[in-house]
Structure 1
Amino acid sequence: MRGEPSCPKCGGRVRAPGLFSDSWQCDVHGTVHPLQPVVPPSVEALGVVVKRAQVPVWMPWPLPLGWLFTGVATAGDDRTGGRATAVACSGPGPVGGMGEMLLVAEELGVGLGARYAGMPGPDPGPHLSVDRSPQVKVHAAGRPTPLWHVESAPPNRAVFAGEARGLWLWAILWPEQSGLLMYDELVLTDLRDAGGEVEMVPCGALSPRILS
């Protein structure tokens, strides 16, 4: 588990603002919103991320049967707030075995979703065939939200992406067969709007996917 902020695009070390720069800097990617250290999943940790997030904190709610909240990550600092969030959930896969899901909300150019998707970044736009009908629709904060299947993603996962609330929304699932969950018109809640319901989220063990 990491103890220092890192680059959301590559995971490399970043330099804090100082005498010569008022922003976080990665040697490879320049100015970035730093990815904060991941802590074990708990209602308290989730509440901290929700409170400081400037972007949605998406979670399937209610969670699919048998699924648990298994981690949260955020990119940003105390000055800017969370500019990207990633929520991990794990549970029984639709065709057996365990499935894992990461939902990422982010501003343009942050690059956290592309990193988890294992794809060139920072944004999903170049990978989306928006001239074709979207493969799936989710209900995000009560609105039908189209997502496109990213066919160029690595073969061990299913990746879907689109826009919700004017920001990028990524859904990344392992193994690839777990992508079938996205065809059930999943209901996503922005936990910033959930109020006291956040305290009811069932927690499991930390997902290694959110550390990768």
Structure 2
Amino acid sequence: MRGEPSCPKCAGRVRAPGLFADSWQCDVHGTVHPLQPVIPPSVEALDVVVHRARVPVWMPWPLPVGWLFAGVAYAGDDRSGGRATAVACSGPGPLGGSGELLLIAEELGVGLGARYAGIDGPDPGPAISVDRPPQTKLLAAGRPTPLWHVPQAPQDRAVFVGEALGIWLWAVVWPESSGMLLYDELVLTDLREAGTEVELLPCGALSPRLLD
């Protein structure tokens, strides 16, 4: 597991603010919101991210049957707060085997969602087009939220993206066949508003997808 912040766009090393720059810097991408080390799944660790986040911390709630919370990461620092969050869940795939789901909320330009999606970023770009209808919808914070399928993603995963509460919402699912989860009226809760219900969250093993 990484022990130092990294670039949310490329996982490269970043330099902390100092004498010559007042923001975190990546040699490739310039100013970035640093991706903090991935946090293994526990209610206490999740609570830390929830209280630092300035964007939603999305969780399917209730979780699909047999699914578990599998870790969390965020991009930002003590000064800026969390400007992107990534929550991992894992469980039985709808067609058998195991599945992994990452839900990423991020401000414009952070680039974390595109990185986990395996596409050029930092934002969805042509993936969201008013010229074609969304492929699916889910309920996010009580609001119907359209999502568009991203065909440019690698074949080992299914990627959907849209906007919820004015922030990018990415759903990245492994393997690709587990993308059927997104067609099953999935309900997302922003854990910043969940209160004590978070204490009931079942935790599993850390998802290796967060470390990619």
Q: TM-score range by the shorter chain?
A: over 0.9
Helix, strand or coil: the match of 1:179?
helix
Gaps of 5+ in 2: none
In the alignment, which residue of structure 2 is the partner of 1:61?
61
Distance 1:126 1:113 in 2: 15
Q: By how many angstroms is 1:185 displaced?
A: 1.4
Distance 2:154 2:130 in 1: 20
Contact 2:127-2:148 within 8 A present in 1 as well: no
In the alignment, which residue of structure 1 is the partner of 2:147?
147
1:49-128 matched pairs, under 5 angstroms: 49-128=49-128
Distance 2:5 2:203 in 1: 24
In the alignment, which residue of structure 1 is the partner of 2:160?
160
Q: By how many angstroms is 1:131 displaced?
A: 1.4
Helix, strand or coil: the match of 1:196?
helix
Distance 2:129 2:177 in 1: 21
Contact 2:67-2:92 within 8 A present in 1 as well: yes
Q: By how many angstroms is 1:61 displaced?
A: 0.2
What do the CA deviations read for 1:146-203 (whole angstroms, capped 9, x no partner)? 0001111110000000100001000000000000010011000000000001111100
Distance 1:207 1:199 in 2: 20
Amino acid at match of 1:150: V
Amino acid at match of 2:39: V
Contact 1:51-1:192 within 8 A present in 2 as well: yes
Q: By how many angstroms is 1:116 displaced?
A: 0.2
TM-score by length of 1: 0.99
Amino acid at match of 2:13: R
Distance 2:89 2:124 in 1: 21
Distance 1:129 1:180 in 2: 22
What do the CA deviations read for 1:85-134 (whole angstroms, capped 9, x no partner)? 00000000000000000000000000000000000000013222331111
Contact 2:39-2:45 within 8 A present in 1 as well: yes
Q: Post-superposition, which runs of at least 4 consecutive aligned residues in structure 1 deviate over 3 A?
A: none
Distance 2:196 2:128 in 1: 36
In the alignment, which residue of structure 2 is the partner of 1:187?
187
Distance 1:113 1:201 in 2: 24
Amino acid at match of 2:174: W
**Number of residue pairs matched by the alignment:** 212
Root-mean-square deviation over aligned CA pairs: 0.6
- Identity value in percent: 81
